[in-house]
Amino acid sequence: MNVDIQSLGTFNQLAHEGAEQATASMAQMTGIAADVDVTKISLVNREDIGEELGDREFVGVRFGYEGELSGETVLVFDSDCTETLVGELLGGSPGEEMARSGVEEIGNIMMSGFIDGWADYLGTTIDHSPPEYVEGTGAGILPPAPADAESDQVFVFKSRIEWLEESVEFYIYMLPEYTPLAEVMAEHADTESDAIPIDKLEVFNEMTTDGTERAADNVEMMTGIDTEAEVSQISFAPIEDVPKQVGNDTYVGTVVEFTGVPSGFMLVLFDEASARTVAEAMMPVDVEGEELTDQHKMAIEELGNIMTSGFVDGWANVLQTSVDHTPPRLVHDMGQAIVDPLAAQVGQHQEHAFIIDSKMVTDDVAFESEIYALPNEQELRQALDELLVERADETEADAEQIFQE
């Protein structure tokens, strides 16, 4: 089955418009001004869904839906903002039962708007179940991804909605069953031009996971910090939404431009505390003070270089090509400010972007790192076209053997 860039764009737009419709409904009911910040489609391993929710407490409203598409959607609110939301809807301090009922009703109206757009586009009806009020921690707020014998990976549509005056976010997750969605996508694919076989996209996602694991191994070897690849996914979003994926926290890291098929940019980003931690773990002497010194920056630059190589080498080896990259450029700025110029450059040739987003963490010390890749869309498609699925495991090269031949 194939999915093409145009239909991925259309589906993303549908999810975005659905989220806007849902947000408008909420604003009408509560008077709370909110804006859909970003919508993206991700291809993600089943067990990684909702990892980005961390361990915060959430309240949600779940629905099942059935028809040409089937699966579940969840409206997820931070627990803290639920009280305000219900207060605006019902006034005063409603009892617990009334509050739940209020949240369910807000969810019901919001999500009906969300689903209706999909039904209209597909020219069919999609029925949804009554709303179910749920509470949970982190990814526990989401239902288990629909089981499917076809794939360990699932497509997830996620919209992040910002509550303008409260700096609070909430989310809409749409978790469609894999096979019906793949079939609908295939029906809308233009197989003559820019189609990508879904199985190859999945293989590429697996290669990305391998790359993240290799980058985590490299961090561990250089710092002695026990590091694990936590989540890895390919997302698809309009170019203008790409910087929003990274957010506005301050990061230290490296940017490289890679050339070959595909070409693009790769970022390795650490929050400032993590940057200090990993850099100091790489240094032979202790460094005093809170500021990032030149020694810290040199260490981060080299670590970024090695992590980047660990990440792209697997692509090159599986694709039997070489992917060159520039020396790393150190960056220290707000996430969006780092990504804006890169997205603008990629956006000269394309309206949407695939974003490869990986994260690594450790239990022992406060350390978190994210890797983002922004490949050229056409070249990624060409690379996937040439990808031999049976070579998917051939990510590592044996230098000793090559030098003996």
Partner 1 sequence: MSEVLIADDSEFMRNLLREILEEDHQIVGEVENGVEAVETYKEQRPDLVMMDIVMPIRDGIEATDEIKSADPDASVIMCTSVGQEEKMKEAVKAGADGYITKPFQKPSVMEAIEDVVPS
**Which residues here bind partner 1, judged by CB under 8 A?**
218, 221-222, 282, 284, 295, 298-299, 301-302, 305-306, 308-310, 312-313, 316-317, 320-327, 396-397, 399, 402-403, 405
Helix crossing, 294-319 with 377-386: angle to 10°? Answer: 40
Q: Which of residues 238 and 314 has its CB atom nearest to partner 1 in the complex?
A: 314
Q: What is residue 267's three-state secondary structure?
A: strand
User: Nearest distance from residue 170's CB to partner 1, in Å?
Assistant: 41
User: Nearest distance from residue 167's CB to partner 1, in Å?
Assistant: 38
User: Nearest distance from residue 369's CB to partner 1, in Å?
Assistant: 15
Q: Which of residues 248 and 326 has its CB atom nearest to partner 1 in the complex?
A: 326
Q: Which of residues 35 and 396 has its CB atom nearest to partner 1 in the complex?
A: 396
Long-range contacts, 322-325 (Cβ 8 Å, 24+): 322/260, 323/258, 323/259, 323/260, 323/261, 323/262, 324/258, 324/259, 324/260, 325/256, 325/257, 325/258, 325/259, 325/266
CA 2 to chain CA centroid, nearest Å: 21
User: Nearest distance from residue 359's CB to partner 1, in Å?
Assistant: 20
Q: Which of residues 249 and 396 has its CB atom nearest to partner 1 in the complex?
A: 396
State how far the Cα of 53 lies from the Cα of 73, in Å rounded to an integer: 16
- Classify the phi-psi angles of 17: left when phi > 0, otherwise alpha if psi is within -120 to 50, otherwise beta: alpha
Q: Which of residues 312 and 339 has its CB atom nearest to partner 1 in the complex?
A: 312
Element (H, E) at 88: helix 79-90
User: Nearest distance from residue 353's CB to partner 1, in Å?
Assistant: 24
The dihedral of CA 195, 201, 207, 209: what is its sign? positive
Q: Which of residues 101 and 317 has its CB atom nearest to partner 1 in the complex?
A: 317
User: Nearest distance from residue 8's CB to partner 1, in Å?
Assistant: 29
Q: Which of residues 320 and 345 has its CB atom nearest to partner 1 in the complex?
A: 320
Tell me the two tokens of residue 17. Answer: 């418009």
* Residues 84, 170 contacting (CB under 8 angstroms): no
Q: Which of residues 142 and 300 has its CB atom nearest to partner 1 in the complex?
A: 300
User: Nearest distance from residue 7's CB to partner 1, in Å?
Assistant: 33
Tell me the two tokens of residue 325. Answer: 């990259």
User: Nearest distance from residue 402's CB to partner 1, in Å?
Assistant: 5
- Tally of CA atoms within 13 A in the half-sphere of 4 that contains its CB: 12
CA 199 to chain CA centroid, nearest Å: 19
| Bridge partners of residue 3, in order along the sequence | 196
User: Nearest distance from residue 215's CB to partner 1, in Å?
Assistant: 11
Q: Which of residues 146 and 264 has its CB atom nearest to partner 1 in the complex?
A: 264
Burial class (CB in 10 A: 0-12, 13-18, 19+), 364: exposed
* Residues 1, 182 contacting (CB under 8 angstroms): yes
* Residues 15, 36 contacting (CB under 8 angstroms): no
Helix crossing, 5-30 with 178-187: angle to 10°? Answer: 120
